[in-house]
Amino acid sequence: MSSFTDLGYIFLGLSLVIAVYACIASLMSVRSQNNSLRTRSLISMYLIALLMVSAASVLVYSFINHDFGLRYVTMHSNRSMPLYYTIAAFYSGQEGSLLYWSTTLSVLTAISLFIYRNASYKIVGYSTTILAAVFIFFVYVLVFHANPFERLPMDMPDGQGLNPLLRDPGMLIHPPLLLAGYMSWTIPFAFGIAGLLSNDIGIRWIQLIRKPTLVAWGLQTGGLVLGGWWAYHVLGWGGYWGWDPVENVAFLPWLTGTAFLHSIMVVERRKKLQLWSISLLIATFSLSIFGTFIVRSGILSSVHNFAESDVGHYFLAFFATSLAASISLVMIKSKSLTDVTTFESATARESGFLINNIIFVSIAFATFWGTIYPMISEALGNQRITVGAPFYEKVNGPLFLILLFLMGIGPLLNWSNTKREILLQKLQLPISVFTICLLIGIGFSGDIVLSLGFSACSFVLATILYEYLTGAKTRTRNSSENYFYAVYSLLKVDRRKYGGYLVHLSVVILAIGIIGSSGLQTHKEINMPINSQTTIGEYTLEYTGSATIEKADHTILASQIVVSRENRETTREMLPQTIYYDNFETQPTSRVAIIPFIKEDLYIFQSGVDANSATFAIFINPLVNLVWVGSSLMILALTIIFWPVSDKRKYKTHSKSS
Amino acid sequence: MPAGGSESSMSGPIKQFNKRLLIGIFVIIISTIYLITLSLDAASAIYMTPSELVSYTTKPEERLRLGGMVQAGSILQQSDNKLEIEFTVQENDSRVRVEYMGATPDIFGDNAIVFVEGYYINGIFSADTLLTRHPDTMEPLSQEIIDSDSNDSY
């Protein structure tokens, strides 16, 4: 047994050595135009992926095999855990999650380099160097400071088990997806810097960088959404996003990455904002490293800090070095790359993108500032401060609102300039829809802020509708297609444009969900004696008692609540639970009971139970379903955009867009 | 932050910026900074440990955040309203009595690490939010964990 897990460590060590070789060889291959050296450095990167997957497999195998001679396995699993949690325990601790990070990086690196191996000679070479360098850092930390294959002095009979909070189906996917999101920004970053090094930031560069960026953006989006889903179902405070430091740092690269996705369209079409885009990319990568560092170091006080250790120092050093190197490179290259920076018209599409970028960066800056302000304040010798969720809501709320409006105007703008009359004519439908919604909203509720939020959503919906309808109208006029088929073929012919609108549509749905669930939430906290009733909204809840259920490795304490609804015959039963896992009796975890009605969720968290009563926090979360619908649709739309285009059609779209 | 790139590109040979666009950008940046400064004080709380709070002269309107460990056996639930609780947050020999009304999180209990926010009036900390820390460590919760929150190491 012992020799087998040592194999994992040997794989890690070999990867490190080969990565150092690949890093140097690829750099030399660019300098000397040596083709065989270049091939060898590429093959090294493929080999590293193979070694890393093997190392990860060794660890997974040790988990499945319950090898309690391995420190990491002993700390994070035990014999009574179901298989899926045993495997998920792989990335539940620091060593494992770093191994996961670098393994996924090596695989994504190998795939990207393989796909783009015939792209520009210099860019591929430089990308290999940068990717190998990032990889070296992570494997160095793994080999010398966070070895997941460390053995205990002797084998243990059983392990500790997984942290109860992580024992949730959402936890099987959320952390790996979020870590993969952080990790995957390395690829566009490497390509981006490689483009800068080879003075090649043009159409070819955009084509190279677009897909890796979409992959990273999609992974990051998925990670954030699943994080929200998990928080909503487990933490029991009725919401999905709390502006907690760990959430904030995951949100930061998403914000700058989204700005980057928009700014490269300006680079592509107008050859403007090149340096700005590169800077956004550098910011996104640095924030990803910062995020991994924050999660891994426990430097910020947070509801869910995962680990605290000295590895943080290495991250800080790596973060500072890569940021300093990137910024110096941008400054060196800025002279030779200075692009045409003219923005002659405020109503040009590129100006819309510029404003979009300024707002995204402003939101990122505010979020970043709120997150690190406590540290700065303390470092300056002032009092220790904590910044609460209201700060982010007050600052980011208005900025997101402007962003929504912009989403309704931007797509209607032409490149370089839009005539005022044409813009006003195009805006007729959105503005009327907006005005009607606003008047109805204020008339019925009197709440100006909420009405404004919902009306802004209707404004964007109208724009998307207008764009689809005018596009379809043109098609029906030019061909025999009917309206519905025309809408479908729009997506087929110009997938980027109309797929992009699908993403916008999902964002609006998500926004409606967020505005509804945060602005219209009702909640009460109540202690209920057995067989007593309470009402909230249109629901009557009766608490009928609690029971304990013994399971293999945990005990469940569940309460029964019978829910009846106004004017409905049928009743439904809800079972909010608290679970006590063996070895973790002082850290119970909750299973919130949720009934998802179409317009709202009824959400019950069990706070405490005694002999003849129980305490619950009861929430009604209106429109929260749309949060999940919108974000799923966003991933779906992204998949549609990403889906490979057949060669024939690729030719068509190209000739159209050029 | 990517400001470096934008400035250098703006300083290029050709710069022709639409005035209205420039004003728009300016307004967004200024209002963001204004919103940040305006909201930061309103939404922040001063973080204290029990020992600091005991020797600190507070202003009643000052919002505070108190972090520490719940003293074992100190939790008292009102018999007529079980949502009303009182407990003691301790750090070494310093203790602060906290009153809170509402449902408590899962991990709340004896020896749990808690963060409460509210106001300190006449020796009683009246809290309106109660958070518990989810520790990922296998070791028993120690005082160092609380101390690590002070971010001294950086």
Q: In this predicted model, what pLDDT tens digit does every residue of A185-207 receive, in sequence order? A: 999 999 999 999 988 877 888 88
- Mean pLDDT for A424-442 is 94
Write out chain A residues lying below 8 Å of B109, CB-based: 586
Distance from CA of A217 to the nearest CA of B (A): 18
Q: Do A305 and B115 touch (CB under 8 A)?
A: no
Query: If you measure CA to CA, which chain A residue comes closest to B133?
Result: A303
Distance CA A297, CA B111 (A): 24
Q: Do B151 and A276 touch (CB under 8 A)?
A: no
Distance from CA of B114 to the nearest CA of A (A): 10
Q: Which of A120, A295, A330, A280 is nearest to A205 (CA)?
A: A120
pLDDT level of residue A339 (50, 70, 90 thresholds)? low
Give me the pLDDT at residue A342, please.
77
Give me the pLDDT at residue B42, please.
82
Pairwise pLDDT comparison (A180 vs B41), residue with the higher score? A180
Is residue A2 predicted with pLDDT exceeding 60?
Answer: no
Residues A4-43 have pLDDT tens digits of 889 999 999 999 999 999 999 999 999 888 889 999 999 9
**Which residue has tokens 């009607």?**
A436
B46-148 carries CATH number 2.40.50.140 = yes
Give me the pLDDT at residue A298, please.
53
Write out chain B residues lying below 8 Å of A589, CB-based: 106
Q: Please name the member of A354, A362, A590 whose beta carbon is closest to the beta carbon of B29.
A: A362
Whether the CB-CB separation of A67 and A73 falls below 8 Å is answered with: yes
Helix axes A349-379, A245-270, angle to 10 degrees: 150
Distance CA B10, CA A338 (A): 9
Looking at the complex, does the CB of residue A100 fall below 8 Å from at least one CB of chain B? Answer: no
- The alpha-helical segments, DSSP class H, found in chain B are 3-10, 19-42, 50-54, 143-148
pLDDT level of residue A297 (50, 70, 90 thresholds)? low
Burial class (CB in 10 A: 0-12, 13-18, 19+), A403: buried
Q: Report the range of poorest mean pLDDT among A128-137, A219-228, A381-390, A513-522.
A: A381-390
Write out chain B residues lying below 8 Å of A618, CB-based: none
Q: Which of A201, A220, A150, A232 is nearest to A338 (CA)?
A: A201
Q: Which A residues in the span 355-374 are in contact with B, Cβ-Cβ below 8 Å?
A: 355, 358-359, 361-362, 364-366, 368-370, 373-374
- Chain centroid to Cα B38, Å, comes to 17
Q: Please name the member of B2, B13, B43 whose beta carbon is closest to the beta carbon of A361.
A: B2
Residues A35-76 have pLDDT tens digits of 899 999 999 999 999 999 999 999 999 999 999 999 999 988
**Do the strands B84-91 and A613-622 form a parallel or antiparallel pair, or are they unpaired?**
unpaired
Q: Do B46 and A383 touch (CB under 8 A)?
A: yes
Distance CA A465, CA A108 (A): 37
- Mean pLDDT for A401-419 is 91
Q: Which of A124, A134, A111 is nearest to A33 (CA)?
A: A124
pLDDT level of residue A417 (50, 70, 90 thresholds)? confident
Distance CA A39, CA A35 (A): 6
A522-622 carries CATH number 2.60.98 = yes
Phi, psi angles (nearest 5°) of residue A14:
-60, -45
Please state the length of chain B: 154
Q: Do B134 and A525 touch (CB under 8 A)?
A: no
Q: Do A279 and B44 touch (CB under 8 A)?
A: no
DSSP state of B107: T
- Establish, for the pair of chains A and B, how many residue pairs have beta carbons separated by less than 8 Å: 212
- Element containing residue A477 per DSSP (H, E): helix A448-478
Give me the pLDDT at residue A431, please.
95
Residues A486-512 have pLDDT tens digits of 888 888 888 888 989 999 999 999 999
Is residue A447 predicted with pLDDT exceeding 50?
Answer: yes
Q: Which A residues in the span 331-350 are in contact with B, Cβ-Cβ below 8 Å?
A: 331, 334, 338-346
Write out chain B residues lying below 8 Å of A374, CB-based: 47, 151
ipTM above 0.85, yes or no: no
Burial class (CB in 10 A: 0-12, 13-18, 19+), A425: exposed
- Mean pLDDT for A175-180 is 88
Distance from CA of A66 to the nearest CA of B (A): 18
Give me the pLDDT at residue A299, please.
55
Residues B69-97 have pLDDT tens digits of 899 889 988 877 778 899 999 888 889 99
Q: Do B2 and A279 touch (CB under 8 A)?
A: yes
Query: If you measure CA to CA, which chain A residue comes closest to B105?
Result: A607
The CATH number assigned to the domain with range A1-161 reads 1.20.120
Q: Do B106 and A394 touch (CB under 8 A)?
A: no
The ranges assigned to domains in chain B are 3-42, 46-148
Q: Do A362 and B107 touch (CB under 8 A)?
A: no
Write out chain B residues lying below 8 Å of A93, CB-based: 136
| B27, two tokens | 């307004």
Is residue A390 predicted with pLDDT exceeding 50?
Answer: yes
Distance CA A513, CA A630 (A): 8
Give me the pLDDT at residue A311, please.
76
**Over chain A, what is the mean pLDDT?**
88
Q: Do A395 and B35 touch (CB under 8 A)?
A: yes
